[in-house]
């Protein structure tokens, strides 16, 4: 299926690992151009080597204002067709284990920078009356996950502002949607299994095995599967979908509207 994104320009956060890398590669394979952001320059250069004419790189932490300013500058006056808003999550902790500093950091690392980058990118898209923005959050916004109180709480604020903004600019040609991944075979899942192993006094491999047994489809998700939906949401084909939170979790969320 031709998604119609050949030669279109996309910003991709966390582009060298996990979901970000899988989506970056998917966009490249569709013929799109990307601005890849990550902290590891060597891995960025590896990604650029895949298709050098389609990849621009920014070395930096996307949660920092200075990196977001660099993204805005490198786009310049070009038309930006889409953006993947994506970065790592907070540490796995119970509520009683958290400190106020943890909550301050969670606000900065999960919410504040997403407001900043959205405020910078949406006006660029509005100039062309077109844009697609996809935020990668977590299935915890629909069903809280054990030991992830920081994520369970602050990511809900992201969903709130994305839903509100999607309504405010619905006629602009810009759509904003949230993807809520469940357990996928990415580096990020290990912090959850390691925390569970610590609490239960078992090996991390056993915690992982127990976690997989609880997933209705019987396996961890693959980043490539997740990327196929994300790429579609970043394409013109998704123009009638906005303000939605779509869980990709192998059936873990039990709610009727999960």
> Could you read off the pLDDT of 64-88 as tens digits, one per residue?
999 999 999 999 999 999 999 999 9
| Averaged pLDDT score across all residues of the chain | 95
Neighbouring C-beta atoms of residue 251, cutoff 10 Å = 12
Residue the block writes with tokens 């019987």:
218
Percent of all residues in the chain with a pLDDT value above 70, rounded to a whole number:
100
- Same domain, yes or no: 210 and 105: no
The two structure tokens encoding residue 137: 């959050």
Q: List the beta strands (DSSP E) in the chain.
A: 9-13, 33-38, 55-59, 82-85, 131-136, 174-181, 245-248
The two structure tokens encoding residue 134: 């996809």
- Same domain, yes or no: 158 and 191: no
CA dist 239 and 64 (Å) reads 30
Q: Would you state the pLDDT for residue 208? A: 87
Given CA atoms 137, 28, 233, 230 in this order, what sign does their dihedral have?
A: negative
Which structural domain, as residue segments, surrounds residue 47? 9-182+224-247
User: Is residue 1's pLDDT more than 80?
Assistant: no
- Same domain, yes or no: 154 and 40: yes
Q: Would you state the pLDDT for residue 193? A: 85
CA dist 19 and 12 (Å) reads 10
- Same domain, yes or no: 86 and 163: yes
- Same domain, yes or no: 43 and 65: yes
218: Cα separation from own chain's centroid: 24
- Same domain, yes or no: 57 and 120: yes
Does a structural domain hold residue 111? Answer: yes
User: Is residue 43's pLDDT more than 90?
Assistant: yes
- Same domain, yes or no: 153 and 196: no
Please name the residues in contact with 40: beta carbons below 8 A apart, sequence gap of 6 or more.
16, 59
Q: Would you state the pLDDT for residue 206? A: 84
CA dist 21 and 16 (Å) reads 5
Q: Would you state the pLDDT for residue 196? A: 81
Reduce the DSSP state of residue 66 to 3 states and report it.
helix
CA dist 131 and 122 (Å) reads 8
Does a structural domain hold residue 193? Answer: yes
- Same domain, yes or no: 92 and 193: no
- Same domain, yes or no: 210 and 237: no
Does a structural domain hold residue 34? Answer: yes
Q: How far apart are the first and last CA of the chain?
A: 27
- State how many domains the chain has: 2
CA dist 35 and 186 (Å) reads 22
pLDDT digits (tens, 9 = 90+) for 163-188: 999 999 999 999 999 999 999 988 87
- Same domain, yes or no: 172 and 188: no
- Same domain, yes or no: 30 and 148: yes
- Same domain, yes or no: 57 and 174: yes
The two structure tokens encoding residue 47: 């990604």
Rounded to two decimals, what is the model's pTM? Answer: 0.95
């Amino acid at each position: 299926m031709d998604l119609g994104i050949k030669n279109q320009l996309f910003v991709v956060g966390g582009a060298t690992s996990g979901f970000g890398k899988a989506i970056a590669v998917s966009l490249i394979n569709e013929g799109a151009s990307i601005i890849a952001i990550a902290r590891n320059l060597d891995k960025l250069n590896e990604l650029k080597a895949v298709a050098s004419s389609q990849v621009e790189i920014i070395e930096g932490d996307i949660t920092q204002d200075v990196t977001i300013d660099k993204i805005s500058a490198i786009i310049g006056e070009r038309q930006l067709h889409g953006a993947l808003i994506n970065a790592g999550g907070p540490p796995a902790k119970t509520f009683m284990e958290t400190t106020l500093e943890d909550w301050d950091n969670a606000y900065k690392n999960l919410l504040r920078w997403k407001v900043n980058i959205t405020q910078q990118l949406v006006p660029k898209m509005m100039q062309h009356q077109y844009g697609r923005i996809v935020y990668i959050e977590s299935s915890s916004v629909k069903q809280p996950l054990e030991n992830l109180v920081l994520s369970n709480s602050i990511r809900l604020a992201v969903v709130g502002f994305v839903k509100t903004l999607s309504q405010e600019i619905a006629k602009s040609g810009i759509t904003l949607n949230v993807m809520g991944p469940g357990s996928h075979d990415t580096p990020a899942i290990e912090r959850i299994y390691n925390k569970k192993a610590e609490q239960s006094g078992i090996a991390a491999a056993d915690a992982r095995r127990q976690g997989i047994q609880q997933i209705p489809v019987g396996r961890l998700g693959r980043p490539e599967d997740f990327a196929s939906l994300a790429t579609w949401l970043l394409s013109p084909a998704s123009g009638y979908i906005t303000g939605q939170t779509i869980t990709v979790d192998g059936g873990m969320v039990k709610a009727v509207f999960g």
